[in-house]
Structure 1
Amino acid sequence: MSQKIVSGEQYEPAFEVHLSDIIAFFRKYILLIAIIAVASAILGYLSSYIQTEKYTAKTILLPEYSAAKSSLFALAVSGNNTDGPGNLTPDLYPNVLESSSFGEYLLNQPVTTQSGQKYATLKSYLAKPSSPGLLARIRSFFSSNKSATLPHGPKLDLKGSGVLYYSKEETALISGAKSMVSASIEQKSNLISIESELPDPVLAALLVENAKNYLIDYVEDVRTAKLNQQLTFLTGRTEEAKKRLKSAEYALQSYRDQNRNAFLNVARIEEQRLQAEYTLAQSIYSDLVFKQEQMRIRVKEERPVFKVLETTKVPLTTSSPHRLIMAILFAGIGAFASLLYIAIVKEKFHQKLMKG
């Protein structure tokens, strides 16, 4: 404690804290603070057993693209045409697993629980009364707050416009299904991680595998959609050219059979016309077949390749709650609360500061 000089010659005490005061304070209350911190840590550790244990299933993918894309043959096939693969780069892949289409896809996939019970769809699993987690609360909320204006059942098509209409319960289920799976990408290496943390380890592994299959199929479909359309078009034209070739060949051979001993110039002119028609049909058919094979090669080149670096496995150990972290957190909170209690209630530092 020291003093400060004010106007005149009056002296008032000024409250100051020195290092010796802090050391004396902790010597006096260190045991109490330690006991409260240890008790809080034990309480936090025990409270972790009240929380639901969760398991994390994970898979890691490395997207690759064919090196033949830059080959001379590929350049000769595609020329300078840059259409086809689109702009779906690997850094956008996690966004695919955040769409409503993915949530709806998951809801329609068959699942199996840790107990071995099978469900036709994930939606039927979430519909059971004992479904754990947030989705059960969402479902119970909407079941007790039904609205007569909300349709129940499949999605509705608004006057053929392609706009989908979902009820609130369906929207909640789709959002819940999406939240059961998360995806992230490492920017430097482009490694894609797909995870699911659920109380059921088998269900978590199945959802991760379904998400992986959906992502691979979606990316493949996007990158090859235009090329597949062109391939379908060429396939149709090739079939037409094949029929034309067969018809021209049949007409030529039939004419030759009927006019074997003909020496008239008119007959020869007709044969030459049919021969020219057959040659043209054969040329068109050969050209379309060649282009069709080229397009098939381009489709294979543009198809992305995903290397699975970490296969999806059923987790055997829990990932949460983190009991040690909770114990440390509770210990810190307990120690801080005890310091506040001692400083305010026992030592009344706030009153000394106001007086000082």
Structure 2
Amino acid sequence: MAEEKEHKIIQDDEIDLVELAKTIWAGRRFIAKVAGVFALIGLIIAFTSPVEYEASSKLLPESQEGQMPNMGGLAGLAGLAGVDLSSMGGAGSGVLTPQLYPEIVNSLPFILEVMNDTVYFEQLDLHTTSFHYFKEVETPTLLGYVMKYTIGLPGTIKKAFSAEEIIKENTSPFYRLSKKDWGIIEKFKERISIEIDAETGILGVTVEMPDPYAAAQIAKKIELMVTEAVIKYKTDKSLENLEFIQGTYEEAKNKFEKIQYKLARATDRNMNVTSATGQIELKNIEQEYEITFDVYKGLSTQVEQAKIQLKEQTPVFTVLEPVRIPEDKSQPKRSIILLLFTFVGFGIGGILCLILKKT
């Protein structure tokens, strides 16, 4: 009895599938028409979507965290000069891993500096900032106009009856931008991609812009700013230390030269004098000279050590793939858009055909 029931269920399923296939085949013209409409919509979107160009570069940051490279004979020579390289293991070096680079790039000060930098839009023969371009120059596409006057119509009406906000120069420690400006900044962030290869540590910078030349310029700008920011972060403390030691060294040097001249004059003056007073004066000057010389010599060694430390802690970035001006557009992918809309059209056409069949 159970086997007959199971056989009946399977048979019903087979009948349903056959009926489904017959229904779809009977409505094939209707489905084709729906798919054609969707293909037309996809074609319109594909050819009215904004054209974008993608520029990129690849960098290999040198890993220096907690490492002291084998400096060979240099360590021995530094030891003879009194410079202890082993004591320079990581003092002054901050922990800034490549995984934090995207956070640097997405920070507001970084993005504003990039957006306020003047670039050349080759297709328009225009020198302007990215911020001004996206706010005043860029024209909406056909789809953008449709969205503006349908879904975005309430906002458009509101803006028409409200005064435009004027952004004044920021003199406070806080950032104050209009809602429109914040929107432009957030969309600009989406145009920038920073990727880190976990295995190789290679840093990839990718920028997408409506103009190929502008895309290459901004990618290069970001590449330089990232390397400068990392170098500054890594060397700030060492550079400050070097400047302080150099300042103290110059003071000690001037004092040593003065006492050296003072000792020379005292020696000449007391060359043929055998008085006890003259000998005591000369001895005091000699002792002051020795103390000053020890300080001067010690600071001289510290200056050289600080210079080596600064050079050692300066990150090195190797450019594996330089920025080039893109030849081909990255967006829109018209063939993919057309195929996707056509496929969706066939699916929706089939569903409508089944619904109309049941009704």
* TM-score normalised per structure 1: 0.80
* TM-score normalised per structure 2: 0.79
Candidates 148, 161, 169, aligned match of 1:154: 169
| 1:23 aligned partner | 21
Candidates 167, 185, 194, aligned match of 2:177: 167
| 1:226 aligned partner | 237
Where do 5+ consecutive residues of structure 1 fail to align?
6-14, 158-162, 352-356
Alpha-carbon distance in 1 for matches of 2:240, 2:256? 24
Number of positions where the alignment pairs a residue of Structure 1 with one of Structure 2: 326
Sequence identity, in percent?
25
Which structure has more RCO (C-alpha within 8 Å, separation ≥ 6)? 2
| 2:8 aligned partner | none
Higher-helix-fraction structure? 2
| 1:114 aligned partner | 122
**Maintained 8 Å contact 2:24/2:354:** no
Candidates 309, 316, 319, aligned match of 2:320: 309
SS at match of 1:103: helix
Once the two structures are TM-superposed, the CA of residue 266 in structure 1 deviates from its matched residue by: 1.7
**Maintained 8 Å contact 1:202/1:314:** yes
Where do 5+ consecutive residues of structure 2 fail to align?
6-11, 142-147, 149-155
Q: What RMSD, in angstroms, separates the aligned Cα atoms of the two structures?
A: 3.3
The structure-2 alpha-carbon separation of the partners of 1:116 and 1:270, relative to structure 1 and needing over 3 Å to count, comes to farther
Candidates 82, 90, 94, aligned match of 2:98: 90
Q: Does 1:277 align with 2:288?
A: yes
Once the two structures are TM-superposed, the CA of residue 319 in structure 1 deviates from its matched residue by: 0.5
Q: Name the stretch that deviates more: 74-83 or 201-210.
A: 74-83
The residue correspondences of 1:129-278 to structure 2 (distance < 5 A) are: 129-132=136-139, 145-146=162-163, 152-157=167-172, 163-168=173-178, 171=182, 174-175=185-186, 177-278=188-289
Alpha-carbon distance in 1 for matches of 2:140, 2:294? 66
**Maintained 8 Å contact 1:66/1:305:** no
**Maintained 8 Å contact 1:100/1:178:** no
| 1:44 aligned partner | 42
Candidates 282, 285, 297, aligned match of 1:286: 297
**Maintained 8 Å contact 1:156/1:166:** no
**Maintained 8 Å contact 2:68/2:89:** no
| 1:56 aligned partner | 54
Q: Name the stretch that deviates more: 196-205 or 33-42.
A: 33-42
